[in-house]
């Protein structure tokens, strides 16, 4: 029998199969403006759902998927988290260009988030600035970081030797507490290391 249900072919005839209809519709065919999330049950715009490789919308909305992912990560034992961080930093080392592209895309997709971070840093620096701080000496250090970055092609940042914000110490935003460091070194140090720390 041929064509009974669209899936059968005459015995021995190959390549005559009608493609199996998709159980879910690809995005462009889904003539709807909203979709219900299987997790939170809300009707959300299609842009709130990611698609799989075949262009089919995921059943949970982006916020629900991201919350589930964070919860799953939080439940992991610390060793697994460390292994995950190691895997990611290994990938970044192997794919620096891809990582830069990804970071740039994330930054331009979330401009408010990054603007808020810059503002927060400025506010903290302002609060940690003492009256006797030499503003022009500080500016010289920031210009030096830019000059070194340009000359070496390696991004350098201004580091607070004693961190401004940590649980134990409060460093100052003054010329004596500032130095130029390569970005990678500064980021790996964070606010966890300083001279004469307890």
The smaller minimum CB distance to Zn ion, of residues 12 and 41, is found at: 41
Q: Taking every pair of C-alpha atoms in the chain, what is the biggest distance, in angstroms?
A: 93
Q: Calculate the CA 126 to chain-centre distance.
A: 27
Q: Which of 35, 49, 57, 61 binds Zn ion (CB under 5 A)?
A: 61
Q: Does 64 bind Zn ion (CB under 5 A)?
A: yes
The smaller minimum CB distance to Zn ion, of residues 61 and 172, is found at: 61
Summary count for the chain: helices (H), strands (E): 6, 4
**Cβ 25 to Zn ion shortest distance, Å:** 19
Q: Which two tokens stand for residue 116?
A: 């808020």
End-to-end alpha carbon distance in the chain: 83
Q: Does 57 bind Zn ion (CB under 5 A)?
A: no
Q: Which of 32, 40, 85, 137 binds Zn ion (CB under 5 A)?
A: 40
Q: Does 37 bind Zn ion (CB under 5 A)?
A: yes
Alpha-carbon gap, residue 143 to 103, rounded angstroms: 24
Q: Does 65 bind Zn ion (CB under 5 A)?
A: no
Query: Which of 31-39, 51-59, 95-103, 181-189 is the region at the interface with Zn ion (rule: CB under 5 A)?
Result: 31-39
Q: Does 128 bind Zn ion (CB under 5 A)?
A: no
For the chain, list the strands marked E by DSSP: 34-36, 43-45, 156-160, 178-182
Q: Which residues bind Zn ion (CB under 5 A)?
A: 37, 39-40, 61, 64
């Amino acid at each position: 029998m041929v064509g009974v249900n669209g899936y059968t072919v005459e015995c021995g005839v190959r390549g005559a199969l009608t493609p199996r209809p998709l159980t879910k519709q690809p995005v462009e065919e889904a003539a709807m403006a909203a979709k219900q999330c299987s997790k939170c049950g809300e009707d959300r715009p299609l842009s709130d759902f990611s698609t799989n490789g075949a262009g089919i919308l995921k059943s949970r909305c982006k916020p629900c998927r991201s919350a589930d992912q964070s919860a799953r990560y939080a439940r992991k034992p610390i060793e697994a988290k460390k292994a995950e961080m190691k895997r990611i930093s290994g990938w970044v080392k192997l794919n620096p260009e891809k990582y830069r592209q990804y970071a740039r895309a994330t930054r331009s997709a979330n401009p408010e988030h990054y603007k808020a971070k810059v503002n927060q840093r400025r506010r903290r620096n302002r609060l940690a600035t003492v009256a006797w701080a030499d503003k022009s000496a500080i500016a010289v250090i920031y210009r030096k970081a830019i000059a070194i970055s340009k000359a070496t092609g390696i991004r350098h940042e201004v580091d607070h030797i004693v961190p401004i914000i940590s649980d134990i110490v409060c460093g100052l935003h003054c010329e004596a507490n500032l130095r130029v460091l390569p970005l990678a070194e500064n980021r790996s140090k964070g606010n966890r290391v300083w001279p004469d720390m307890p």
